[in-house]
């Protein structure tokens, strides 16, 4: 028995609980989609909430490895929390007019596809690997782009977003290639 409470899972749950609060500000419920009449300070508040959530993502992984507190719940909830948090931001950015919707469809397609492939691998008796270095770069770039946009560095944030989009596609193709032996369609 570990002498520490399962802090990684607590941090993941905290991240999940921050998502609805983040959404209140990213969706600027008074004036969704009308930027000039909207409340830009809501983006800053959303940025603070998102930054706190992003920090919990780093520390839950760090403590899970350091204290050997990797759990099945954590393996499921951690990436799920990341996907819900980043997707919430991206959908908010569509409404604010910062990014086109088709790019978010590409990102969501990759995420659903990889999650499905991981299930196929486990079902086939294989071992589903954690995030690859490409996947970690993708997540880092996605979160960085979100923070830059929320803190009013929109131009740089959008450039980083498109770099994240590239790594989203590239890491997805890399994962597909590595999982090809499990993807037999016969």
User: Is residue 161 one of the residues assigned to a domain?
Assistant: yes
Closest alpha carbon to 139 in 181, 117, 116, 110: 110
Question: What confidence score (pLDDT) does residue 31 get?
Answer: 52
Closest CA to 2 of 64, 52, 45: 64
The pLDDT value given to residue 142 = 97
Residue 174, pLDDT score: 93
Q: Output the pLDDT for position 36.
A: 47
The domain total for the chain is: 1
Mean pLDDT split into 10-residue runs, the chain, 186 residues:
75 96 81 53 91 94 89 86 95 92 97 87 73 90 96 94 98 91 73
160 within some domain = yes
For residue 158, the model assigns a pLDDT of 96
Residue 104: per-residue pLDDT: 97
Q: Is residue 106 part of a domain?
A: yes
Q: Is residue 186 part of a domain?
A: no
Query: Is 0.75 topped by the overall pTM?
Result: yes
Q: Would you state the pLDDT for residue 129?
A: 65
Show the domain range for 93: 7-181
What tens digit of pLDDT does each residue of 40-70 get? Answer: 688 899 999 999 999 999 999 899 889 888 8
CATH number reported for the structural domain that contains residue 54 in this entry: 1.20.120.1760
Question: Rounded to whole angstroms, how far apart are CA atoms 131 and 115?
Answer: 11
Please report whether residue 129 resides in a domain.
yes
Q: Which H or E element spans position 28?
A: none
């Amino acid at each position: 028995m570990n002498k520490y409470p399962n802090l990684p899972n607590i941090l993941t749950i905290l991240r999940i609980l921050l998502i609805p609060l983040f959404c209140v500000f990213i969706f600027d419920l008074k004036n969704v989609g009308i930027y000039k009449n909207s409340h830009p300070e809501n983006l800053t508040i959303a940025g603070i909430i998102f930054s706190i959530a992003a920090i919990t993502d780093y520390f839950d992984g760090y403590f899970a490895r350091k204290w050997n507190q990797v759990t099945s719940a954590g393996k499921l909830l951690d990436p799920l929390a990341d996907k819900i948090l980043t997707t919430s931001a991206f959908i908010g950015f569509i409404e604010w007019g910062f990014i086109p919707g088709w790019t978010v469809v590409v990102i969501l397609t990759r995420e659903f596809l990889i999650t499905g492939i991981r299930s196929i691998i486990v079902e086939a008796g294989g071992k589903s690997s954690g995030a690859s270095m490409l996947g970690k770069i993708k997540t880092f770039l996605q979160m960085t782009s979100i923070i830059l946009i929320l803190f009013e560095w929109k131009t740089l944030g959008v450039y980083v977003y498109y770099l994240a989009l590239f790594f989203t596609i590239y890491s997805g193709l890399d994962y597909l290639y590595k999982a090809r032996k499990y993807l037999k369609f016969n």
